[in-house]
């Protein structure tokens, strides 16, 4: 592609780096520019919020950051590797090793118990059984869910489910925790608890990116990007 | 080893999924259950039948050739020996036996006549099927001796009035007690019973003496009764004159059997104006039986194939439904970082659990059915281990083949779309 601009390798402390990322869709005869040249970088151990109204390219940004989608143009470096050039299997492996997803509607597997849900990424990583069990317990303990290991998601409250989802997201020791409207399905009291959990993880040195349209939630982050019409409208906060 | 450990959670997942939809899984499995059961049961019945046929042919001896006298058909018989006396003259001659003995490769010839004769034992009078033959008969056609002895060369030379009864004959004479040393009247002569032999048990192809009641030395028979056998009928006496009812020819090796039978046929055709004989070659019958068995197996294979195909389509249908139902789960797994191949494996394991489960039930059913058939009808059935392996292997193959398409479809889902699926 002629438009692809090769850019320099990210610095060691940049866990995420986007260089002029574009994502275009063809809808009918029309080209929709969901992302139209976005560049920014995120340092390891920082806490970011990505905001924007619907149609701003927020979801597309989430999919690209989450390695579920590739940019049409530009480069996206996640943990030192350019995702734009990856094929499907590499992309899967990259997600498995570097990303922890937290979704708005939790997305736990309903047939699996809490422990088994937390173990899913470890299973794909090929961890031996004893280690999986040990680590699942440890993670459940970390999110305060160790008393519910044998329960099915349907037996848990929303807040509990999201805690389990956070434990699962941590199971592969990801470079980046990527949360998509993590409190969208929770009441305000539970939301506060979940955001406190994120704060805790940030303080433990995790890189956290929260994609949200709620200002209250974005307030927890140290830095934020506001997207509008596929471009960065503004950036706030200090890099820590 | 580690691979198996890594696979186990996926196998368990497959099992729990099957368990969660018990009714649906059961119905899905039915196709494979009946497919596998019918393969095993049909093969068992077929194998039983053909083994019985092959056994009886083998008992006739694969080195043997049977030459049997046969009354010519009406028109043929009409213009030849049907003289006014109503005495039909046909069949094999003593000379034929001598000529056959001269054919190269012939080791032994055993002549026999089979005639029905009035018999009397104590107060009981009935018609018995009498075989007049020589001692070698008992070498060529195996008849286990139950009591006493069979005919000897001495009996033959002495024109002895001795007879060997078959179990059948004993039963027909209603002789519950020990028959040895008893005397029975056959036609005009008194015969001493010297032994009892076992009858032939079942089978589609029988030895010529399978229905016989009593054996006597050929020489004694000829002396007492001659070659003609007259019987009273409504319009007077009617009879036939047959020198030899049967000649069993044993060749000195299996290889020369075909050649020998050709030579016998050629020779008999030269000396007999009409075809009043029949040549049976057990070896040929054996080959025919084996050919029939092969055909039978092909038909069975086709039927089994169709039923397994139907079962497989059933599985595929259910798996496609399951993929739709679990789209979101697929999306979650893909987002977490499962490669497409992992999704394929997960769904394949699921179908394999269904098809192997069905195969296992079918296996048990397939082993039970022949047992029930044997128990209720007395038919011989043989469940062969290869058929079990075959049926089980096929059911596994069905799982993989028909599971592949739904699994590929599951894996090809776009994770973003799949996550959005409700």
- From chain B, the residues in CB contact with A99 under 8 A are 337
Q: Which of B218, B243, B275 is the last residue of a domain?
A: B275
Tell me what the mean pLDDT of segment B221-231 comes to.
78
Cβ contact, residue pair A129, B5, below 8 Å: yes
Predicted TM-score (pTM) above 0.80: no
Length of chain A counted residue by residue: 240
**H helical segments located in A6-70:** 58-65
Give the pLDDT confidence score for residue B168 in this predicted structure: 81
Which residues of chain B approach chain A closer than 8 Å at the C-beta?
A: 2, 5-6, 8-9, 13, 16-17, 20, 328-329, 331-342, 415-416, 419
Cβ contact, residue pair B336, A126, below 8 Å: no
Helix or strand or coil: residue A203? helix
Give the pLDDT confidence score for residue B201 in this predicted structure: 61
| pLDDT greater than 50 at residue B355 | yes
Say if residue B384 is in the same domain as residue B253.
Answer: no
Say if residue B181 is in the same domain as residue B301.
Answer: no
Phi-psi region of A230 (alpha: psi -120 to 50; beta: other; left: phi over 0): left
pLDDT band at A4 (very low <50, low <70, confident <90, very high): very low
Cβ contact, residue pair B338, A96, below 8 Å: yes
Say if residue B220 is in the same domain as residue B305.
Answer: no
From the centroid of its chain, how far is CA B332?
Answer: 59
**Mean of all residue pLDDT scores within chain B:** 82
Range(s) of the domain holding residue B292? 2-56+288-420
Cβ contact, residue pair A121, B336, below 8 Å: yes
| pLDDT greater than 80 at residue B126 | yes
- Kind and range of the H or E element at A178? strand A176-180
Residue B283 lies in a domain: no
Say if residue B207 is in the same domain as residue B90.
Answer: yes
Say if residue B244 is in the same domain as residue B310.
Answer: no
| pLDDT greater than 50 at residue A229 | yes
pLDDT band at A239 (very low <50, low <70, confident <90, very high): low
Sheet containing strand B236-241, strands side by side: B87-89, B236-241, B228-233
Residue B63 lies in a domain: no
| pLDDT greater than 70 at residue B194 | yes
Q: Which of B275, B303, B325 is the last residue of a domain?
A: B275
Reported as a single tens digit per residue, the pLDDT across A106-138 is 999 998 899 999 999 998 998 888 999 999 999
Say if residue B265 is in the same domain as residue B298.
Answer: no
The number of distinct structural domains making up chain B is 2
Least CA distance to A101: which residue of chain B?
Answer: B336
Helix or strand or coil: residue A106? coil
Reported as a single tens digit per residue, the pLDDT across B63-94 is 888 888 888 765 544 444 444 456 778 888 88
Q: Which of B275, B307, B330 is the last residue of a domain?
A: B275
Say if residue B239 is in the same domain as residue B91.
Answer: yes
Residue B258 lies in a domain: yes
Residue B221 lies in a domain: yes
Q: Which residue has the higher pLDDT, B36 or B304?
A: B36
Say if residue B153 is in the same domain as residue B14.
Answer: no
Say if residue B296 is in the same domain as residue B194.
Answer: no
Tell me what percent of the residues of chain B surpass a pLDDT of 70.
Answer: 88
Select from B9, B16, B336 the Cβ nearest to the Cβ of A111: B16
Residue B364 lies in a domain: yes
**Token code pair at residue A122:** 């470890």
Q: CA-to-CA distance for B192 and B148, rounded, in angstroms?
A: 12
| Stretch 127-146 of chain A: residues touching chain B, C-beta under 8 Å | 128-129
Which residue has 């850019």 as its token pair? A7
Residue B317 lies in a domain: yes
Residue B326 lies in a domain: yes
Say if residue B119 is in the same domain as residue B262.
Answer: yes
Residue B65 lies in a domain: no
Tell me what the mean pLDDT of segment B273-295 comes to.
84
Reported as a single tens digit per residue, the pLDDT across B327-352 is 999 999 999 999 999 899 888 888 88
Q: Which residue has the higher pLDDT, A151 or B390?
A: A151
- Kind and range of the H or E element at A224? strand A223-228
Determine contact, residues A231/A74, Cβ cutoff 8 Å.
Answer: no
Give the pLDDT confidence score for residue B207 in this predicted structure: 65
Say if residue B370 is in the same domain as residue B223.
Answer: no
Say if residue B35 is in the same domain as residue B101.
Answer: no
Select the highest-mean-pLDDT range: B15-19, B252-256, B264-268.
B264-268
Could you tell me the CA-to-CA distances from B81 to A33, B88, B89, B92, B230 in Å, in that order?
110, 6, 6, 14, 16
What values do phi and psi take at A98, rounded to 5?
Answer: -115, -10
- From chain B, the residues in CB contact with A119 under 8 A are 9
Looking at the domain that runs over A45-64+88-237, which CATH code has it been given? 3.40.50.300
DSSP β-bridge partners for residue A23: A35
Could you write out the three-class secondary structure of chain B?
CHHHHHHHHHHHHHHHHHHHCHHHHHHHHHHHHHHHHHHHHHHHHHHHHHHHHHHHHHHHCCCEEEEEECCCCHHHHHHCCCCCCCEEECCECHHHHHHHHCCCCEEEEEEEEEEEEEEEECCEEEEEEEEEECCCHHHHCCCCEEEECCCCHHHHHCCCCEEEEEHHHHHHCCCCCCCCCCEEEECCEEEEEEEEECCCCCCCCCCCCCCCCEEEEHHHHHHHHCCEEEEEECCEEEEEECCECEEEEEECCHHHHHHHHHHHHHHHHHHCCCCCEEEECHHHHHHHHHHHHHHHHHHHHHHHHHHHHHHHHHHHHHHHHHHHHCHHHHHHHHHHCCCHHHHHHHHHHHHHHHHHHHHHHHHHHHHHHHHHHHHHHCCCCCCCHHHHHHHHHHHHHHHHHHHHHHHHHHHCCCHHHHHHCC
């Amino acid at each position: 592609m002629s438009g692809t601009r090769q850019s320099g390798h990210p610095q060691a402390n940049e866990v995420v780096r986007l260089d002029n990322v574009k994502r275009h869709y063809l809808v009918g005869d029309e080209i929709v520019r969901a992302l139209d040249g976005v560049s920014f970088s995120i340092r390891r151990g920082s806490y970011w919020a990505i905001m924007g109204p619907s149609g701003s390219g927020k979801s597309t940004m989430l999919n690209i950051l989450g390695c579920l989608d590739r940019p049409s143009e530009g480069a996206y470096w996640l943990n030192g590797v350019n995702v734009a050039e990856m094929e499907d299997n590499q992309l899967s492996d990259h997600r498995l090793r570097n990303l922890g997803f937290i979704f708005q509607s939790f997305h736990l597997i309903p047939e699996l118990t809490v422990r088994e849900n937390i173990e899913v990424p470890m299973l794909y990583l090929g961890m031996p059984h004893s280690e999986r069990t040990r680590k699942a317990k440890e993670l459940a303990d970390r999110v305060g869910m160790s008393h519910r290991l044998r329960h099915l998601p349907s037996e848990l409250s929303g807040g509990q489910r999201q805690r389990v989802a956070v434990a699962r997201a941590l199971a592969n020791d990801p470079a980046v925790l990527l949360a998509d409207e993590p409190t969208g399905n929770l009441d305000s009291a539970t939301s506060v608890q979940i955001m406190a959990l994120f704060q805790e993880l940030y303080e433990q040195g995790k890189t956290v990116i929260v994609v949200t349209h709620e200002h209250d939630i974005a307030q927890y982050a140290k830095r934020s990007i506001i997207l509008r019409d596929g471009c960065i409208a503004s950036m706030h906060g200090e890099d820590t | 080893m580690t691979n198996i450990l890594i696979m186990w959670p996926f196998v368990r997942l497959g099992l729990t999924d099957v368990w969660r939809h018990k009714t649906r899984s059961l119905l899905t499995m039915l196709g494979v259950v009946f497919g596998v059961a019918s393969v095993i049961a049909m093969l068992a019945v077929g194998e039983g039948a053909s083994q019985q046929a092959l056994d009886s042919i083998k008992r006739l001896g694969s080195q043997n050739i049977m030459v049997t006298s046969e009354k010519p058909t009406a028109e043929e018989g009409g213009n030849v020996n049907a003289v006014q006396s109503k005495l039909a003259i046909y069949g094999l001659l003593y000379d034929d036996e001598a000529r056959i003995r001269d054919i190269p490769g012939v080791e032994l010839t055993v002549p026999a006549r089979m005639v029905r004769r009035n018999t009397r034992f104590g107060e009981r009078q009935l018609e018995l099927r009498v075989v007049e033959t020589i001692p070698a008969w008992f070498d060529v056609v195996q008849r286990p001796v139950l009591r006493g002895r069979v005919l000897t060369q001495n009996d033959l030379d002495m024109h002895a009035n001795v007879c060997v009864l078959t179990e059948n004959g004993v039963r027909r004479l209603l002789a519950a007690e020990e028959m040895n040393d008893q005397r029975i009247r056959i036609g005009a002569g008194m015969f001493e019973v010297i032994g009892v032999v076992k009858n032939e048990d079942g089978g589609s192809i029988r030895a010529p003496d399978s229905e016989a009641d009593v054996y006597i030395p050929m020489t004694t028979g000829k002396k007492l009764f001659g070659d003609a056998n007259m019987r009273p009928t409504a319009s007077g006496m009617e009879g036939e004159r047959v020198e030899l009812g049967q000649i069993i020819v044993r060749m000195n090796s299996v290889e020369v059997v075909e050649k020998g039978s050709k030579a016998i046929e050629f020779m008999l055709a030269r000396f007999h104006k009409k075809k009043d004989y029949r040549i049976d070659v057990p070896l040929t019958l054996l080959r025919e039986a084996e050919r029939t068995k092969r055909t039978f197996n092909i038909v069975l294979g086709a039927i089994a194939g169709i039923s397994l195909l139907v079962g497989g389509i059933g599985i595929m249908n259910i798996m496609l439904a399951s993929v739709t139902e679990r789209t979101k789960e697929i999306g979650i797994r893909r987002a977490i970082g499962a490669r497409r191949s992992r999704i394929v494996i997960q769904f394949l394991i699921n179908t394999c659990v269904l098809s192997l489960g069905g195969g296992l039930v079918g296996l048990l059913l397939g082993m039970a059915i022949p047992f029930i058939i044997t128990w209720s009808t007395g038919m011989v059935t043989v469940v062969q281990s290869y058929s079990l392996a075959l049926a089980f292997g096929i059911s596994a193959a069905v799982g993989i083949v028909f599971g592949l398409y739904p699994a590929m479809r599951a894996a090809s889902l776009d994770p973003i779309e799949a996550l959005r699926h409700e």
